[in-house]
Amino acid sequence: MPSRRDVLRGIAVGSLVGLAGCTDETVSGEWPRAGYDRRNTGDVTDRDGPGRSLTTAWTASVPDGYNRQTPVVVDGRVYVGTAADGVGGDGRVGFSVFDAADGDRLRDVTVTTGPTDGGSNWLLVDSLVVADGAAYLVAHDGVHSYTLDGEERWHRPVDGQPQSTVHDAGHPVVVGDTVFAPTASTTEDTPAPEGLLAIDHATGELQWRYEVPQADRFGWTYSVAYAEGTVYLSMMEVGVVALAADSGEAEWLTELPAEGPPTVADGRVYVPSEEDDSDGDEAAIQDLDADTGDLVWSRSGAGDRLGREIAAADGRIYCREDLRSIVCRDAATGDERWRHRGVDTGPDGRPAVTDEAVYAGADYGAENDNGADGIVALDPSTGERVDGVAIEGSSGYKARIAATDGRLFVGSRGRVHAVEACTVDAFGRCLH
């Protein structure tokens, strides 16, 4: 049976079409958290994405606190974390809900509030997760759970406070009856220890707490990954720890200068890190054995620190490097397979890997041809740019992407966008 993308490509002039794209009545395929799955892989290669010819289906606004959220897509709804701090903001932290098909706003939910002086990251970027009919997010005052209709279920304080760090990756993982939530630097300048909480998903009761061994280092925690009974946590400037999910007991701890969340694939743990360089601009990817924590390989290069996120699919890993490149490496050896250059990528956002393309936020600046300032689609085998779509002037490189069947949902500053395949005419042009 032809895919939705194949059908769209077959439409020509003379057909009864006059709109860019083709809005479905429903949107299938879920993206429940920033990393997509519990292993943070961004791997949806079994999914029929929008393909290589892109256009914007709809755009909606969300409260803007200088935060860019990865949309969460579940059961035909799009959930976007919101943080209305800063100039003109009212300090609200929460999430907005939209119909995935047409972008209609369904509800805005306020979870907590904070001061409005603009000096804090009130909602940790990408902390929103939807699992088993409930929403979970981490804010400055703890972990919150709400029903999808906007009713509070529970609040687990972490004895933290609003903070002004640039650290911004702290979404939970929900496994069975347990929510694993990092404190993610909310405990800065407080007596409370930085660490990881294991919380009962129904009651909010604390099951166990892991405390980061600080040793005069930052120790801020990033979003966690889970695989086969083990929770993997990276801690800024400290290292990576593997914890037994049922008890919190440490299975191994590998010291390294971690600078981002772990990604687990095929028995390996991939972690971004900072190299010990006098100029402070060397970054690396470390590959650890998931069972032992032993270092398998390490690859370093210039630039791109503080929260770089790694995707893994089909024996390859994908990430941003040197602030101007998107790079594909062999997952087993670390050898570079291709490098897409000349795109201002910044450190934000994990690439999304579908059946036919690698999608990433991009800003080509003066090279902005063919509407590529926003999202770029790359060939997974070669890294060749096959298409792009503009979403928002000069901020596309900060975009965060969720990929469903036939659509991308993109979070940028103060907005969420739905991106889909173009309806084309006989000359292969997208009808706008």
Q: Quick check: is 394 in a domain? A: yes
Residue at 166 is within a domain:
yes
Query: Is 428 among the domain residues?
Result: no
Residue 85's pLDDT is: 57
Whole-prediction pTM value?
Answer: 0.88
Average pLDDT over residues 253-269: 94
Q: How far apart are CA 98 and CA 75, in angstroms?
A: 11
Give 190-236 pLDDT, tens digit per residue.
Answer: 667 789 999 999 999 999 999 998 766 677 888 999 999 999 999 98
DSSP category for residue 126: T
Query: Residue 320: in which H helix or E strand, if any?
Result: strand 316-321
Q: Could you tell me if residue 375 is inside a domain?
A: yes
Q: Is residue 430 situated within a structural domain?
A: no
Range of the domain at 87: 4-421
Question: Does residue 427 belong to any structural domain of this protein?
Answer: no
| Model confidence pLDDT, tens digit, residues 390-408 | 776 545 456 789 999 889 9
pLDDT tens for 36-45 read 999 999 999 9
113 or 407, which is more confident = 407
In a domain? residue 153: yes
CATH code, domain carrying 157: 2.130.10.10
Cα–Cα distance measured from residue 25 to residue 76, given in angstroms and rounded to the nearest whole number: 9
What mean pLDDT, rounded, does the chain reach? 81
In a domain, 431, yes or no: no
Q: How many domains does the chain have?
A: 1
C-beta separation of 297 from 311 below 8 A: no
Spatial contact of 185 and 221, defined as CB atoms under 8 Å apart: yes
Structural contact between residues 106 and 77, judged by C-beta atoms closer than 8 angstroms: yes
Tokens of 152: 């509070």
Q: 312-339: b or e for each residue (b if 16 or more CB lie within 10 Å)? A: bbeebbbbbbebbbbbbbebeebeebbe
H or E element in which residue 5 lies: helix 4-9
Q: What is the pLDDT of residues 290-313, one digit of tens each?
A: 999 999 999 987 655 556 789 999
